[in-house]
Amino acid sequence: MAAVLAGVAGTLVLPLTVTSRARRNRARRLELWPDAVDHLISGIRAGLSMPEARIAISHRGPQELQSDFLEFARYYRASGNFDQSLEHFKQTLADPTADRVVEALRITSTVGGTELGTLLATLNRFLRQDIKVRGELRARQSWTLGGARVASAAPWLVLLMLGTRDEAAQAFRSPQGMILIVVGAVLTVCAYRLMLLFGRLPAEERVLI
């Protein structure tokens, strides 16, 4: 009985843990982009060119993004072409937010002049607004996820308590009892995934490829 319950728990928890961790990483990277753009604005105001300001982020920008900007710096030094380096950077990250930042930088590098700081500040304002909205949606989504976890765990907690009684344990050790547990596990996994699917926020798609 304990082994079966452990198997059910593993079936539920392990894939969901990996998926949840990946989503948290994406959300965390999204929150770092405004800081990266702030560094760009600071670099431009300090007299750096756009490529130099981007390269500077690989040393003093958000730590989680430094390796990505370092790769940009290496590619730019090797090619000497800022536009190609931006495209390489965008395709390497393959991220909707990075796509928007890259295209905005492509425009600002073309426009230049006194409008450069204004365009970057406008981009940063939109990024922060997007983060705020998504944060509010995730807070509301947590209620749905909490209900899904409770609904999925409740029958198995009842089964665990029933398993402490000898007659119930004997019943679930029978072939019919094992079949019931397996069917219940499959239904629990399917129902839990459906609840997550209905309550999941739509993933932002890449449109500036």
Residue 133 to residue 140: CA distance in whole angstroms: 11
pLDDT digits (tens, 9 = 90+) for 153-173: 888 888 778 777 777 777 777
Cα first-last separation, the chain: 51
User: Phi/psi of residue 200, each to 5°?
Assistant: -80, 140
pLDDT recorded at residue 169: 72
Nearest to 66 by CA among 54, 50, 79: 54
What the block records as the tokens of 61 is 């920008």
Distances from the Cα of 137 to the Cαs of 23, 32, 144, 199, in angstroms?
A: 14, 19, 11, 10
Are 163 and 172 in contact, with CB atoms under 8 Å apart? yes
pLDDT recorded at residue 2: 46
Lowest mean per-residue pLDDT among 7-21, 76-90, 119-133, 182-196: 7-21
User: Phi/psi of residue 114, each to 5°?
Assistant: -75, -15
In terms of phi and psi (left: phi > 0; alpha: psi -120 to 50; beta: otherwise), the region of 80 is: left
pLDDT digits (tens, 9 = 90+) for 86-118: 888 888 888 888 888 888 878 776 766 566 777
Q: What is the DSSP letter of 46?
A: T
Q: What's the predicted TM-score (pTM) here?
A: 0.62
pLDDT digits (tens, 9 = 90+) for 14-69: 555 555 565 666 667 778 888 888 888 888 888 888 888 888 888 888 888 888 88
Which of 72-81, 104-113, 138-147 shows the highest mean pLDDT? 72-81
Angle formed at CA 147 by CA 176 and CA 180, multiple of 5 degrees: 5
On the question of pLDDT at 198 being above 80, the answer is no
Q: Is 204 helix (H, G, I), strand (E, B) or coil?
A: coil
Residue 113 to residue 46: CA distance in whole angstroms: 14
Are 164 and 13 in contact, with CB atoms under 8 Å apart? no
What is the band of 75 on the pLDDT scale with cuts at 50, 70, 90?
very high
Side chain identity at 133, as an amino acid letter? V
Of 149 and 24, the one with more pLDDT? 149
Residue 54 to residue 208: CA distance in whole angstroms: 20
Length in residues, the chain:
209
Chain mean pLDDT for the chain? 77
On the question of pLDDT at 203 being above 60, the answer is yes
Residue 22: Cβ within 10 Å count? 10
